[in-house]
Structure 1
Amino acid sequence: MLTEGAGACTHPLAFVRAQRGWSYQRLARVVARRARDLGVANMAAERQKVWRWEHRGVVPDRVSQLALAAELGVSTDRVESHPWPAWLPTGDVVRTDYPWSGVGSVTSMIDVVEDALTDRRGFLTITGTGVATLASEWLKLEPAHLTAARDGGQVDAQIVNRIEHNIPGLRLMDDRLGGESVRRLVDAELGVVTELLARGSYTEEIGMRLQLLAAELARVAGWASFDAGYHTSAQRYWIAALHAAHAAGDRLIGANIMKNMALQCVDFARPREAVELANAAVASAGGISGRAGAMLQMRLARAHAALGEPTECSRALARCETAFERATPQDPAWAGIFDEGAYAAQIGICYIDLGHLAHADRWLEQALEVHSAVRARDHATYLLRRAAVQIDLGNLDHGCALVREVVPLLEATRSQRNGRRAEEVRRRLRRHASDPQAREVDQLLVRPT
């Protein structure tokens, strides 16, 4: 469960509240006050009413909408022409209608490097049918060939080699420092590749390599944005990455991008859309085994666990195990992160979502035994997950010990996702506020989050 502040995710009203620092009760009072200005004197300022607008799909009555619009400076005409919640002022939508071609890929890259870093929204923009359509379109497409640019300087293999050489370092920095620390650096690299694609002159082979670079850089930029809490930015990067992967004819990179998008949906309580994306990723990869295939199956397992489907989750975990046992040195470089520790930890997280805490704890314990603390962000994730499980199992002392272990890692990495997990642990600790140890470690978590 997310806090009210962390609830800025799927509904535009959540963004409006987060932007203005409104709780549900505060927003209810604002609407009631504005309604009095409109001549409705007896409107109750009910927190539950606002919560239902955001979480249950309840459409506010006309007076409430006009009252909120007045507070937000939105005209009555816009309220009339854009049915709730479309009139809420949340900025531009994420564009998904780029042509599936080389030109469409370049256009999507130009758009994303201009806009993504300035976006400050904390909710998912593409949901529901938009996710399903994107997944189905990706699976139907045939690889396209990129034609040479008509003008600009020559892009040779030496330039491409140099940019390719930088990518493992960017992945490593993201893994060890967190997304907030590296997202601008990755965006700058993506900007260089985008400019080469848009203005340079190159052979078809070089063009394909540039598209592959753009796809992976946009994927990493999306992941860093996701980790840092810029969720609409992440979607923008990943849409551009998918188009670049298609232009390069690399469906495995596309599958990895959709795998990332599926996890974002899991994080923000959109499990059905996560299943859509994870299934598309598995189908796109065409039955690949090894670490890459295992990662895709694990993401599908996570989605089914979040949806509360233990049978489907178990089936995906079995396929994941089979694929993982066939790992080879020839697995894609981006799959190297899925080692024994990550594998065990993800199984444990599946069991958390399914409510089997004892099983989850055993897998998380195994994960932490073999996972390298050098990969600070992921190690912190697993420690926080296990701390929460231990507290829920009634083992407060052990949970507190795990919190003490995780604090230096949280201070070393800038990860909004881990900040949210730390808040979840703090909520558990507050249930034991009478215990001096619980109060002490609760305060330890204040600074890093």
Structure 2
Amino acid sequence: MARRQDHDGFFTHPLAFVRAERSWTYQDLVNVIARHVGNMAARREKAWRWENWGVVPDEDSQYALARELGVPHEQVRRLGWPAWLPAGDRLNVELPWTLEAALSSLDHTAGAAVLDRRAFLTLSAGTAVTVANQWLSLEPPRVDAALRGGMIDSTLVEALEQRLPTIRQMQYALGGGSVRNLADAELRLVTDLLSRSSYTQQIGERLFNVAAELGRVAGWSSFDAGFHASAERYFMAALRASHAAGDRAIGANILKCMSLQLVDAQRPDEALAVATAARDGAKQAPPRIIAMMTVREARAHAVLGEAMECERLLVKAEAAMSRADDVESPGWTSYFDKAEYCAQVAACYLLLRRHQATDHWLSQSLNLQPAERPVDRATYLMWRAKTVLELGDVDHACTLVSEAVPSIAAARSARNRRRLVNLQAKLNAHHQHPAVAQLDEQVRTLIA
């Protein structure tokens, strides 16, 4: 029987997955619980609120559902709602940090994670921090020459490496939803080469490096498209691949992406711990990478409202960024130019509600933003619209949103569409303003 999904094509809550696995409607769910509890009013609205409003069921209802699902009561108490729900496969984070485990992780991810429709995190609280600290503390394994099948030479690896900038550029231009399948297919190819071919130690390290970056791109694309469980799987496999390659900078960048996903999932303490591990792992990296990791850690402090620590790190980030052009950096860092740096500083001040500073940094970022990054430009236009609205300029806010709408419509970025919905709700508080009414006509079909 076909699984029911929400209107965006993915499961937005573990309970939605549980219902879909059993073809339960909301009414079916409350009826099942009522049979066990006896005195519960079987109203479907209860289940809807549990799934969509974040309402936590009472203890009797949870235990009743657990009995139906075969989950021990001890597990319900230990994990809490909704983590105890049997919502599909979970990542095996107990694997050792070996080459064999890295290959196994890639093999179980490429081609499979792209099919994962769960729009929620599956790793329990604290697991990402544990993994990040393991990565930080362990020395990478030696990549031994492999003798399995046909010999891989540097020409083929170079061709794979040269495809990476194009895939990243497509992500910047089209959004994650348009690119994740392509990145997954490339990752499957590289994984098969690692598993079935012969290569030298140096070639093996380069292949693991390519796999790590493809996994990161696939993870970020999945995150941008709203598929959080899929993103987790890619990020974890990519982190192991970067460890196998012995490339701390790529690993730090993967952790940086994971940190932002944890922020999005409202796990700010974990996000900070993972961002700190990323910066610690990149201490010997070129200045551009140090600036990148430092501003991400500053942003994690801003999420927690820790203004002084955020400001301290922004000073360090500025010092590193001032030297960024003096030292050569890997190709994957090219997006972190002055425009992106200004946007990330602005993100910190936006979180701290320092609206004048936010507007200053976003103005710089948008003036420098290259045309080939329309998804990011749309993001920063909406950030600035939110900022100027807070400063009382409704007309300017509407102008900025209107400028962002074409890029949002063209790209498959669930995060930008969600930002637009939230911003439109704020603007509707000024619904009598002519500019708001005009903008509403422009975006109504897009966010319907």
Structure 1 length as normaliser, TM-score?
0.88
* Cα offset, 1:203, TM superposition: 1.2
> Which aligned pairs between 1:53-64 and structure 2 lie closer than 5 A?
60-64=58-62
Give the Cα separation in 2 of the matches to 1:420 and 1:290.
33
Q: Which amino acid aligns with 1:119?
A: D
Change in CA separation of 1:370 and 1:210 when aligned onto 2, cut-off 3 Å: same
Change in CA separation of 1:18 and 1:147 when aligned onto 2, cut-off 3 Å: same
Question: What residue number does 1:136 align with?
Answer: 133
Give identity over the alignment, percent.
43
Give the Cα separation in 2 of the matches to 1:404 and 1:76.
48
* Cα offset, 1:54, TM superposition: 7.9
Give the Cα separation in 2 of the matches to 1:442 and 1:347.
30
* Contact 2:19 2:29 (8 Å CA) reproduced: no
* Contact 2:83 2:124 (8 Å CA) reproduced: no
The alignment partner of 2:111 has SS state of: helix
Question: What residue number does 2:3 align with?
Answer: none
Matched, 1:351 2:344: no
* Contact 1:390 1:398 (8 Å CA) reproduced: yes
Give the Cα separation in 1 of the matches to 2:416 and 2:52.
28
* Cα offset, 1:228, TM superposition: 1.1
Question: What residue number does 1:380 align with?
Answer: 378
Matched, 1:12 2:20: no
The alignment partner of 2:243 has SS state of: helix
The alignment partner of 2:372 has SS state of: coil
Change in CA separation of 1:138 and 1:39 when aligned onto 2, cut-off 3 Å: closer
* Contact 1:178 1:228 (8 Å CA) reproduced: yes
Give the Cα separation in 2 of the matches to 1:185 and 1:422.
27
Question: What residue number does 1:415 align with?
Answer: 413
Question: What residue number does 1:213 align with?
Answer: 210
Change in CA separation of 1:388 and 1:158 when aligned onto 2, cut-off 3 Å: same
Change in CA separation of 1:47 and 1:438 when aligned onto 2, cut-off 3 Å: farther
Larger deviation, residues 86-95 vs 225-234: 86-95
> Which aligned pairs between 1:8-407 and structure 2 lie closer than 5 A?
12-13=14-15, 33-38=31-36, 40-41=38-39, 43=41, 60-66=58-64, 68=65, 75-78=68-71, 80=73, 82-83=75-76, 84=80, 85-328=82-325, 330-407=328-405
Change in CA separation of 1:414 and 1:301 when aligned onto 2, cut-off 3 Å: same
1:130-184 CA-partner distances (Å, limit 9, x unpaired): 0221111011111211223342111111111111111111111111111111111
Change in CA separation of 1:17 and 1:330 when aligned onto 2, cut-off 3 Å: farther
Note the aligned Cα RMSD (angstroms).
3.1
* Cα offset, 1:324, TM superposition: 0.3
* Contact 2:132 2:274 (8 Å CA) reproduced: yes
Change in CA separation of 1:287 and 1:158 when aligned onto 2, cut-off 3 Å: closer
Give the Cα separation in 1 of the matches to 2:425 and 2:288.
35
Structure 2 length as normaliser, TM-score?
0.88
* Cα offset, 1:402, TM superposition: 0.7
Change in CA separation of 1:48 and 1:181 when aligned onto 2, cut-off 3 Å: closer
Change in CA separation of 1:312 and 1:244 when aligned onto 2, cut-off 3 Å: same
1:204-248 CA-partner distances (Å, limit 9, x unpaired): 111111111111111111111111111111111111111111111
Give the Cα separation in 2 of the matches to 1:338 and 1:21.
46
1:276-304 CA-partner distances (Å, limit 9, x unpaired): 11110111112434211111001101100
* Cα offset, 1:109, TM superposition: 0.6
Q: Which amino acid aligns with 1:248?
A: A
Larger deviation, residues 259-268 vs 37-46: 37-46
* Cα offset, 1:408, TM superposition: 1.2
Aligned residues: 435
Give the Cα separation in 1 of the matches to 2:184 and 2:52.
36
Give the Cα separation in 1 of the matches to 2:210 and 2:113.
18
The alignment partner of 1:201 has SS state of: coil
Q: Which amino acid aligns with 1:96?
A: V
Give the Cα separation in 1 of the matches to 2:432 and 2:23.
30
